[in-house]
């Protein structure tokens, strides 16, 4: 069973702080990971993906991947109240040309003004 | 920016009735998916579709479920005889091409309520 685990939170940070969201995975064959943001009652929205060990930065977001530790994280710098949402970690699993996504339960982030 | 569109946004149906959920994937995408999310739970894979056939389905996707791409643009999910436990958000997603680093883009979802 290929699992993606996340701390469900809630994680509460003050506006302007760094929010750190973590994810671990069980399948050593997983090559890449996606971070999606999901507002309450809405659909998942792609934030970032990462497939190489190390850091990948996009604006206020930094994804970090450590394949040896089977750990992936998302840092949000200068957190804003509009960042308040559930953040989903997802890993694609190949079967032929299909890459279904396995999602974690998500971490609820609240940014307090 | 092109997007995945889903209709209806909310469907209320009596238990035992058939429902069809509709999706229009992004036009140059080749891979199509249905996921569902029961309230308060994780997003779960149902089925993937490529080249006019199912490429993988989960244990949830039993004989009551079917998918179709009838006209080259729409992608539908049919539940033949709905059960109370089918109440969930259903998300359609599409992906442009093969590769583990190719993201899936999600529609806004259909909230299915079974009474």
- pLDDT mean over A51-61: 92
Of B113, B110, B105, whose CA–CA distance to B4 is shortest? B105
Cα separation, A45 vs B52, whole angstroms: 26
Nearest to A43 among B33, B45, B107 (CB): B107
B105 touches chain A (CB under 8 A): yes
**Taking 70 as the threshold, does the pLDDT of residue A96 lie above it?**
no
pLDDT one-digit tens code per residue, A12-40:
999 999 999 999 988 887 888 999 999 99
Cα separation, A35 vs B77, whole angstroms: 26
How does residue A95 score in pLDDT terms, banded at 50, 70 and 90? low
Query: If you search the block for the tokens 């891979």, which residue do you land on?
Result: B31
pLDDT one-digit tens code per residue, A38-51:
999 999 999 999 98
């Amino acid at each position: 069973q290929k699992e993606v685990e996340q701390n469900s939170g809630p994680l509460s940070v003050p506006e302007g702080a760094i929010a750190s969201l973590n994810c671990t995975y069980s399948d050593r064959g997983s090559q890449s990971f996606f971070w999606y943001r999901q507002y309450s009652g809405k659909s998942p929205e792609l934030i970032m993906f990462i497939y190489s060990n190390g850091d990948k930065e996009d604006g206020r977001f930094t994804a970090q991947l450590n394949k040896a530790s089977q750990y992936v994280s998302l840092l949000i710098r200068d957190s804003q109240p509009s960042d308040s949402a559930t953040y989903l970690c997802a890993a694609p699993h190949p079967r032929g040309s299909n890459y279904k996504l396995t999602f974690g339960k998500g971490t609820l982030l609240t940014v307090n003004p | 920016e092109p997007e995945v569109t889903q209709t209806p946004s909310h469907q209320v149906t009596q238990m035992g009735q058939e429902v069809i959920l509709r999706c229009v994937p992004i036009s140059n995408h080749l891979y199509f998916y249905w996921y569902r999310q029961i309230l308060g739970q994780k997003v779960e894979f149902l089925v993937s579709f490529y080249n006019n056939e199912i490429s993988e389905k989960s244990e949830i996707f039993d004989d009551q479920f079917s998918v179709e791409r009838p006209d080259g643009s729409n992608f539908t999910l049919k539940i033949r005889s709905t059960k109370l436990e089918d109440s969930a958000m259903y998300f359609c997603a599409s992906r442009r091409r093969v590769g583990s680093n190719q993201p899936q883009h999600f529609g806004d979802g259909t909230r299915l309520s079974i009474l």
